[in-house]
């Protein structure tokens, strides 16, 4: 948990001060006036949501550290105040970054994110204490939530019949379906189900079933602001449900099936449509997560959540398939690196360090639980 807290501080600082091109600014500069004169409602909805989401992990991890070490209520106030001070300091430093727009309202929305993170931690501590006591389960819960975040971010819903009809027409159009995507999403939904098993063993609530998650998220996704319609996602989920309820996984390892579905299809999708072209003017993205700081952050944030869940599922299903192997981490890092290198040779895609570094982070965050073999049979132990 301490690692997650420190990592959240790193992410907040990195995201706030990128691209680190500082320039001297005099006290009479208009940028200082901009910092002090902006209103709370001065930002666009995407920036507001981004500022809130950015600080939620800080509040969550900090609150959980407090509950584990010193649950005195005053430390929660210290956490919120220190987070707000960090947010203010970063806004002041942004004055010296010409490419950034300093605004005090950003710090206020950051404060809202910290508070939400603390509330989530308190809710989890009250209703799911077993999850929070185990760093391994907490890591898997975070992985599972990255899928929910991908599906429903920015959690703004627009209920209109035109959008609903567009979604229905897309799902009923056979030309919108690609077999490779159906296979890929089937693997993701199988992984989602097994993550639920790992996080909440023996779950009996209907709200913790794959069927409920599939129906709820797919219906909600139809009304999400700037929704990306992917009909294969629903069909892949239905196939995953049928495979799981058929009890075929009583005889076949579900983790190996999921890994077998995910690894080749993700590689294929990452390079599709395989249009290779040498472009001397295209530069490799050496700065990690550089693409997140474009004018339109929302689709980039969705992509990061999607990649996090996809690579996380590949890593975790390989861990579960080969619990005593030493090659899984190296394979996943090299796998992501090869994808990025080949992507850079294509016409429209740009290779970068973001995804390999994301996989490295996942390797440190999600742990491999090795199996311990017993040289003696149970009968031998009983008679000895």
- Percentage of the chain lying above the pLDDT 90 cut: 36
Comparing 290 with 5, the larger pLDDT belongs to 5
pLDDT at 381: 45
pLDDT at 29: 64
pLDDT at 376: 52
Tell me which of 87-91, 141-145, 343-347, 373-377 is least confident.
373-377
Domain boundaries, the chain: 2-127, 138-365
User: 124-153 pLDDT, tens per residue?
Assistant: 888 777 777 777 888 898 899 899 988 988
3-state secondary structure the chain: CHHHHHHHHHHHHHHHHCCCCCCCCCCCCHHHHHHHHCCCCCCCHHHHHHHHHHHHHHHHHHHHHHHHHCCCHHHHHHHHHHHHHHHHHHHHHHHHCCCCCCCHHHHHHHHHHHHHHHHHHHHHHHHCHHHHHCHHHHHHHHHHHHHHHHHHCCCCECCCHHHHHHHHHHHHCHHHCCHHHHHHHHHHHHHHHHHHHHHCCCCCCHHHCHHHHHHHHHHHHCCECCCCCCHHHHHHHHHHHHHHHCCHHHCCCHHHHHHHHHHHHHHHHHHCCCCECCCCCCCCECCCCHHHHCCCCHHHHHHHHHHHHHHHHHHHHHHHHCCCCCCHHHHHHHHHHHHHHHHCCECCCCCECHHHHHHHHHHHHCCCCCCCCCCCCHHHHHHC
User: 357-369 pLDDT, tens per residue?
Assistant: 999 989 988 887 7
pTM reported for the whole predicted model: 0.81
Mean pLDDT of 27-53: 69
User: 272-284 pLDDT, tens per residue?
Assistant: 888 887 777 777 7
Given a cut of 70, whether residue 165 has pLDDT beyond it is yes
pLDDT at 384: 46
């Amino acid at each position: 948990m301490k690692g997650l807290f420190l990592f959240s501080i790193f992410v907040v600082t990195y995201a706030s001060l990128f691209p680190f091109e500082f320039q001297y600014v005099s006290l009479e500069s208009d940028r200082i006036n901009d910092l002090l004169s902006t209103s709370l409602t001065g930002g666009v909805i995407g920036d507001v949501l981004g500022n809130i989401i950015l600080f939620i992990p800080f509040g969550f991890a900090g609150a959980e550290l407090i509950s584990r070490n010193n649950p005195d209520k005053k430390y929660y106030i210290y956490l919120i105040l220190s987070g707000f001070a960090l947010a203010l300091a970063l806004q002041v430093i942004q004055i010296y970054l010409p490419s950034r727009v300093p605004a005090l309202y950003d710090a206020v929305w950051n404060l809202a994110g910290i508070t939400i993170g603390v509330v989530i931690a308190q809710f989890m501590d009250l209703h799911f204490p077993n999850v929070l006591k185990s760093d391994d389960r907490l890591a898997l819960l975070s992985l599972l939530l990255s899928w929910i975040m991908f599906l429903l971010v920015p959690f703004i819903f627009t209920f209109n019949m035109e959008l609903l009809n567009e979604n229905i027409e897309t799902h009923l159009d056979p030309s919108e379906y690609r077999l490779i995507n159906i296979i890929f999403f089937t693997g993701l939904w199988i992984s989602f189900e097994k993550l639920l098993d790992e996080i909440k063993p023996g779950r009996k609530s209907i709200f913790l079933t794959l069927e409920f998650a599939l129906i709820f998220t797919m219906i909600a996704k139809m009304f999400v602001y700037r929704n990306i319609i992917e009909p294969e996602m629903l069909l892949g989920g239905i196939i995953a449900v049928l495979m799981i309820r058929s009890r075929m996984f009583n005889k076949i390892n579900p983790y190996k099936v999921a890994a077998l579905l995910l690894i080749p299809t993700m590689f294929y999708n990452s390079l599709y449509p395989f249009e290779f072209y040498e472009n001397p003017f295209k530069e490799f993205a050496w700065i990690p997560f550089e693409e997140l700081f474009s004018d339109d952050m929302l689709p980039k944030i969705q992509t990061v959540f999607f990649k996090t869940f996809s690579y996380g599922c590949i890593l975790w299903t390989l861990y579960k398939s080969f619990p005593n192997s030493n090659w899984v981490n190296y394979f996943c890092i090299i796998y992501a690196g090869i994808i990025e290198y080949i992507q850079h040779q294509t016409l429209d895609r740009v290779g970068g360090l973001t995804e390999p570094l994301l996989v490295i982070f996942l390797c440190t965050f999600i742990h491999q639980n090795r199996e311990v073999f017993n040289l003696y049979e149970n009968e031998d132990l009983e008679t000895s």
